[in-house]
Structure 1
Amino acid sequence: MTTSGTERFNELFSELEDCDENGQKRIIEEMNKIVYEMNEEEFKSVFTKELFYKMNKMIEDKKLSMGNVLLLLKRVGYCKVLKNAWTRSFKESSLNKRFEQMIIAENKKIDEKDEKLLVDLCECFFSLSFIFNHELLSICVPCLVKAALKKEESVEARNEVEIAFLALHNIGICPIEQELYMNEIKEIIKYHQEHRNLSHLAYRCAWKFLIDRLYFDENLEEVIVNDLHFAREAAREIEELTRNVDWKREKEEESEEELALLRWIESLNFFFEMCKLQREEFSGLIGSIVQVFQATKEKCNGIHYHCVYLLETAAGNKAIKVEAFVKGGAVDAVFQGIQLPALNEKMAYESLVLFLKVSRRLKEEEDDEMEEAKRKASKRKVTEKMEEEGYEDIITSFHEKFDFLNRRYYHGLSLNISDYFISV
């Protein structure tokens, strides 16, 4: 979108108060197309506290119908979350307070409750704002989860489910009682696993919403890992998205498929930080991340960096065994990546931290004799591969940069070079 597109949006907005409701609807449909094309900076420059104040004033003066406000703000909220356009403007606006009051008032109704209005209000409020109190969570979460339960295969139904899940995804990390969402989310995920009815975006948002709950409720991990098989499902999604990306594209900006893949990769980081259960399925998930890492090595773009950062996070988690890294090809792939001519400092740092973590994990003592035997076998495989590839010489060549990389990024690298080497 160009500057003229931004100006066109503002021109259309100024025309709204001179139109009847049907005319407003036509104008808003055109505005919604412009919103979808905005980048993050354009989005934040248009949707200011002042614009939301004007919108609220037009509602008060009966110059803009609530139905048309919701038609616009559902698209605005959807695009805000999709583009990661973080902004305080709606939260600090008078329109935010109006929505809060309307949600609470509509929920209190018994006989005349407008369920569609309540869903629309919740979707707009939760996708545009960023801090939510307990009362609003207890009203909106069940409302949005119910909206996401739709199983119809029409385009309209799929779009509505996607909007509901994006709003739920935007809640982020905060405490929510399981009874407000658990049965419905499990039903949605299990139904999708059998029928594949959700879009990639909606399915990722469903998992993101569930995984965010782990921060306050670690008991959820049993459901996520064992009952719903997150690792298997995440691997399948990533592999499918990887096949759909045209990696030979010359354009600098990332395609929709690449962005979808990046969102999945980013979503996994919190899971790898929180995960405490050990499962064989993790090696398949590691393998799918390695596929993306290798596919992006020539571009060295954001996805490539996020892959090595994710693998480095996983390497520090004792629930994910070193065998998963060997079997999934992570050690091999990152070792090849560190030798690329286009390697930058940030990638070098994360790669070295990963090798340091793997080395330390392989040096740990194991109480269980069978596990110790497996670890020694992994040690042997890693050591033999590294000897073949000249690992010690390559790590030694980076030694003089360790202190510089620590000061530039984070103090995660040991200055003792023997910490990076493994002996059987």
Structure 2
Amino acid sequence: MIMYAYAYNKLVYGFQEISATEKFLKYLNELVYCDEEGQKQEILEMNEIIDGMNNKEFNAAFTKGLFNKVHRMIEEKKISMTIAVELLKHIGYCKVLKRIWFRGFEESSLNQRFKQMIIEEDKKKEERNEKLLTDLCECHLLLNRRASSELFSIYVPYLLKVAMNKEESEENQKEVEMALLALSNVDRFCRLDEELYLNEIKEIIEYHQEHHNLTRLAYQSAWLFLMNRFYFNYSESKVIANKLHFMREITRELSELSKCVDWKKRKKEVKEKRRRETKEVCMIWRWLDGILYLFRPPKLRNEEYSGLISSIVQVFRDAKDNCGDICEKCIFCIRTAAKNRAVKVDDLLKGEAIDLILEEIQRQTLNNEITNHGLKFFESISMRLKEETYNEMEEAKRKELKRKVLKSLKKKDTKTSSQVFMKNLIFSTKNIMMHFR
């Protein structure tokens, strides 16, 4: 099939390389000419194409029209539901892992078809096909994170049942990973009854911490699903978070992922406009997104915040000079942490966040976004110090923090910075110093 595609490409497009989107659509059209075994082989090749797509190609391929077409192919029995589900699950898998947003599926007739099938299959008793129902739930949730409370009450128990399977075969690990990835896509603004998930997700996390039975992506997904539930549940979240050591676990996971990434290679791919994010980079993005919202609830205090701040700082240093987008995200997370009353100023100091910000604003080539976030960071610290009581931060710690900031500022090379930046920095720094009395 690949040779045929290449010959077709030369005939129609000359020597121009056919895009990933065009390749995918071509394979989809050819599915109707294959028997089921041939379709399975075609799906494997289509999945490889999906894996290599960037965000632009992804959005160009997976439109409302494409999902409507898949629906017609199912209705006309040109492809089986099994084949359709296999394809759709992989599209959803890549969509969630790569953090790609599109509404093509939500607006399609296939979306409505799946909703109806899920509800009808769940109502069955003895004749219920749990495998089909689970597959439909995964497809629907991976492709559409917003749904009715009725659908969520169906999704969650079935997917958790799959995720709680402790068999250590490779096939089972993949099924568990897919179920947990789908659950991690449940919108954080969705309120779920704790009876639907709490005991099960805690057991999944605790069992992995002891036996290491999950893939790294599955473990991350379990945490992100639980962290999203913290958004509305402050009272329970602190108890759960401390019991499961979530700060320690996230800190370790983020640090280990960063070590697995070839940051220089990623920079080269970005320059050549052929970037295809590795799984590890995608997971770092997912952690940073999760951490960002974690910093926003004001009551989630934890003694291990400094370690988490330190891991974000380390990701920044690893990606520094190679991946500006991830660096900006790290700085934004640190800026958000500075606003959060649950994160102490001392945590920012121990985690080397203050040192990092000061290092960046002294660099000869200034990134406007990072500079802006850095100034906002200092403004937040200024306000925090004004509000802190002496019980929360002793005078000795105040003086030490002041000493470190002043020592770093003395190294500032004013010749390499714009006058506007220096004016803003001096104003911000003076404002901070007012509250270091």
Q: TM-score over 0.5 for the alignment? A: yes
Aligned equivalent of 2:167, options 132, 152, 161? 152
Conserved 8 A contact 1:24-1:68:
yes
Native 8 Å contact 1:290 1:328 kept in 2: yes
Indicate how the Cα distance of structure 1 residues 246 and 19 shifts in structure 2: closer, same or farther if over 3 A, else same.
closer
Partner of 1:108: 123
Is there any run of 5+ residues in structure 1 with no aligned partner, and where?
A: 406-412
1:44 corresponds in structure 2 to 59
1:390 aligned onto 2:409 = yes
Q: Is the 8 A contact 1:278 1:321 kept in 2?
A: no
In the TM superposition, residue 280 of structure 1 has moved relative to its aligned partner by 1.7
In structure 1, the partner of 2:257 is 241
| Counterpart AA for 1:199 | T
Aligned to 2:193: 177
> How far apart, in 2, do the equivalents of 1:68 and 1:268 lie?
37
Q: Which residue of 2 aligns with 1:313?
A: 336
1:17 to 1:228, Cα distance in 2 relative to 1, 3 A: same
Q: How does 1:96-245 map to 2 (within 5 A)?
A: 96-173=111-188, 174-245=190-261
- Partners in 1 of 2:62 and 2:412 — Cα distance? 54
Name the SS of the counterpart of 1:215 in structure 2.
coil
Q: Deviations over 1:101-123 (max 9, x none)?
A: 11111111111211111110000
Partner of 2:9: none
In the alignment, is residue 423 of structure 1 matched against residue 423 of structure 2? no
Work out whether residues 310 and 352 of structure 2, in 8 Å CA contact, stay in contact via their aligned partners in 1. Answer: yes
**Structure-2 change in CA distance of 1:327 and 1:96 (3 Å):** same
User: Secondary structure at the residue paired with 1:287?
Assistant: helix
Q: TM-score, normalized by length of structure 1?
A: 0.90
Deviation at 1:402, TM superposition (A): 8.5
Conservation of the 8 A alpha-carbon contact between 1:90 and 1:96: yes
Preserved CA contact (<8 Å) 2:118 2:133: yes
Distance 1:176 1:402 in 2: 49
Q: Does 1:346 align with 2:366?
A: no
* C-alpha contact (below 8 Å) 1:242/1:292 kept by paired residues: yes
| Equivalent position of 1:409 in the other structure | none
SS in 2 for 1:205: helix
In the alignment, the residues of structure 2 paired with residue 365 and residue 19 of structure 1 have an alpha-carbon distance, to the nearest angstrom, of 69
Aligned match of 1:22: 37
User: Quick check: 2:20–2:57 contact (8 Å CA) kept in 1?
Assistant: no
Partner of 2:392: 371
2:307 is equivalent to residue 284 of structure 1:
yes
Distance in 1 (CA, whole Å) between partners of 2:73 and 2:263 is 47
1:414 Cα deviation from its structure 2 partner: 11
Is contact 1:283–1:324 with CA below 8 Å preserved after alignment?
yes
Aligned to 1:132, the other structure's residue is in SS state coil
- 2:359 is matched with 336
Quick one: distance in 2 between partners of 1:399 and 1:17?
Answer: 65
What secondary structure sits across from 1:219 in the alignment? helix
Deviation at 1:393, TM superposition (A): 6.5
* Cα distance between partner residues in 1 of 2:237 and 2:419: 39
- RMSD over aligned Cα atoms: 2.4
Q: CA contact under 8 A between 1:147 and 1:160: conserved in structure 2?
A: yes
Contact 2:231 2:297 in 1 (8 A): yes
Cα pair 1:326 1:378 within 8 Å, conserved: no
**Residue 325, structure 1, aligned to residue 356, structure 2:** no
Q: 1:348 to 1:300 in 2, by over 3 A?
A: farther
SS of the equivalent of 1:423 reads coil
Deviation at 1:391, TM superposition (A): 5.3
| 8 A contact 2:385–2:436 mirrored in 1 | no
Q: Give the Å deviation of 1:243.
A: 2.2
CA-to-aligned-CA distance 1:310-343 (integer Å, 9 cap, x gap):
1111111111111111111111122112111222
| Secondary structure class of the residue paired with 2:296 | helix
Whether contact under 8 Å (2:362, 2:412) holds in the other structure is no
Task: State how far apart, in whole Å, the 1-side matches of 2:45 and 2:354 are.
Answer: 50
What runs of 5+ residues in structure 2 fail to find an aligned partner? 1-16
CA contact (8 A) 2:263 2:323 kept: no
Give the corresponding residue for 1:408: none
Q: Is the 8 A contact 1:322 1:378 kept in 2?
A: no
How far does residue 294 in structure 1 lie from its aligned partner after superposition? 2.1
Deviations 1:14-42 (A, max 9, x none): 12223332222222222222122211221
CA shift at 1:259, angstroms? 2.9
**Cα distance change, pair 402–90 in 1 and its aligned pair in 2 (3 A):** farther
Deviation per residue, 1:361-384 (Å, 9 max, x gap): 223241xx54342xx222211211
Instruction: Report the AA paired with residue 378 of structure 1.
Output: K
Mapped partners of 2:177, 2:223: distance in 1: 13
- State yes or no: 1:303 paired with 2:329: no
Q: How many residues align?
A: 411
The corresponding residue for 2:420 is: 400
**CA drift at 1:423:** 3.2
